[in-house]
């Protein structure tokens, strides 16, 4: 692997570049994106040089798409004209079905979808971190199991091992249903809570503690990030939201009953299990 192109050198793309370098990658790292982002990425030593999409696509052995979902979907067909047949194109988009549906437009080289579960409340290349992926799940969504075993895919997966990511293979549909519950529902629960409280301006906010800060932290995430996610995973999110609405409504009805004990026990059991202690 002599040349890697990072398309979207923000938190994820920039961290992938830094992680590769730290893991011993000696080749070139090209950056594709806005002049402003690329200047910053180059100044931080995240990329070696900026390049237009055409040149990056023509020269790279590995193309790492770390743009928002819609832009990844739009870019995949555009790559067709330039990519090398032995290149691997991969992405880090937060939903996978829409991207996998767009991928067949790329016929001249292999595509392998991915999603590193390595978010952060911070965005932008200045928060890029060579250790961002260490110990974190990195979902791969091949169309067929054989997609994982091609030479290019094996090489990419070796680098994932070296940067400390923990690979998990799922179908795009499995992935999207899971994240609807584990990522998109928590986001909407937080945004809905914060947006509701924003309509209750009469409540003195100093009468609150760490609980409210915790549960509204996600609400700081901008729609800019979430618009694409909601649009490309609406069905699974609707299912998760409907289940959450049912759980809350049941709670409202049981508020004065001893059914609440069981809810608290189940919730605490889950929270402990998530923390690897149950």
Contacts of 102 (CB under 8 A, 6+ apart): 72, 73, 76, 77
Q: Is 221 in the site for a second copy (CB under 8 A)?
A: yes
Q: Among 159, 172, 188, 228, which residue interacts with a second copy (rule: CB under 8 A)?
A: 188
Token pair recorded at residue 202? 């009469």
Closest to a second copy by CB, 81 vs 274, is: 274
Nearer to a second copy, 26 or 200 (CB): 200
Q: Which is nearer to a second copy, 42 or 215 (CB)?
A: 215
Query: In this structure, are residues 61 and 151 in contact, taking their beta carbons and an 8 Å threshold?
Result: no
What sign for the dihedral angle of Cα 111, 68, 242, 178?
Answer: positive
Contact between 171 and a second copy by CB under 8 A: the answer reads no
Give SS3 for 65.
strand
Minimum CB distance to a second copy smaller for 55 or for 226: 226
Q: Is residue 259 at the binding interface for a second copy, with CB under 8 A as the rule?
A: no
Which residues, including other chains, have CB under 8 Å from residue 44's CB and lie 6 or more apart? 14, 125, 126, 128
Is residue 186 at the binding interface for a second copy, with CB under 8 A as the rule?
yes
The only residue of 85, 145, 146, 199 in contact with a second copy, by rule CB under 8 A: 199
Decide if residue 164 touches a second copy (CB under 8 A): no
Nearest residue (CB) to a second copy, 35 versus 205:
205
- Over the window 225 to 254, marking each residue x when it contacts a second copy by CB under 8 A and - when it does not, the resulting string is -xx--xx--x--xx--xxxxx-xxx-xx--
Find the binding residues for a second copy in span 111-140 (CB under 8 A): 117-121, 136-137, 139
Residue 182 interacts with a second copy (CB under 8 A): yes or no: yes
Q: Cβ closer to a second copy: 23 or 166?
A: 166
Cβ neighbours of 170 (radius 10 Å): 19
Q: Supply the minimum distance, in Å, between the C-beta of residue 177 and a second copy.
A: 8
Q: What angle do CA 121, 52, 41 make, to 5 degrees?
A: 35
Interface with a second copy includes 101 (CB under 8 A)? no
> Whole-number minimum distance, CB 203 to a second copy, in Å?
5
How many Å apart are CA 95 and CA 144, to the nearest integer? 18
Using CA atoms, how far residue 40 sits from 5, 124, 128, 258, in Å, is: 16, 10, 11, 57
Using DSSP, state whether 190 is helix, strand or coil.
Answer: helix
Nearer to a second copy, 47 or 99 (CB): 99
CB atoms within 10 A of CB 147: 18
End-to-end Cα spacing for the chain: 42
Among 21, 133, 218, 228, binds a second copy (CB under 8 A): 218
Output the smallest distance, CB 100 to a second copy, in A.
16
């Amino acid at each position: 692997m002599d040349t890697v192109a990072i398309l979207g050198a923000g938190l994820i793309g920039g961290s992938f570049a830094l992680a590769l370098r730290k893991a011993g990658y000696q080749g070139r790292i090209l950056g594709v994106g806005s002049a402003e982002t690329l200047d910053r990425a180059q100044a931080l030593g995240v990329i070696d040089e900026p390049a237009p999409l055409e040149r990056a696509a023509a020269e790279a052995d590995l193309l790492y798409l770390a743009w928002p979902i819609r832009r990844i979907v739009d870019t995949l067909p555009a790559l067709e004209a330039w990519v090398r047949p032995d290149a691997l194109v991969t992405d880090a988009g937060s939903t996978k079905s829409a991207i996998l549906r767009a991928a067949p437009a790329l016929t001249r080289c292999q595509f392998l979808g991915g999603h590193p579960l390595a978010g952060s409340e911070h965005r932008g290349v200045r928060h890029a971190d060579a250790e961002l992926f260490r110990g974190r799940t990195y979902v791969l969504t091949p169309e067929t199991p054989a997609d994982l075993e091609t030479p290019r895919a094996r090489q990419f997966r070796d680098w994932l091992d070296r940067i400390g990511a923990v690979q998990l293979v799922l179908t795009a549909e499995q992935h999207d249903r899971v994240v609807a519950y584990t990522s998109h529902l928590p986001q909407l629960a937080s945004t809905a809570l914060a947006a509701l409280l924003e309509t209750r301006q009469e409540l003195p906010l100093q009468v609150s503690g760490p609980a409210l800060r915790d549960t509204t932290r996600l609400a700081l995430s901008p729609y800019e990030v979430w618009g694409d996610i909601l649009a490309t995973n609406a069905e699974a999110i609707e299912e998760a939201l409907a289940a959450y609405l049912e759980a809350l409504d049941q709670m409202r009805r049981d508020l004065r009953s001893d059914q609440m004990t069981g809810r608290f026990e189940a919730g605490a059991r889950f929270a402990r299990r998530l923390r690897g202690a149950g």
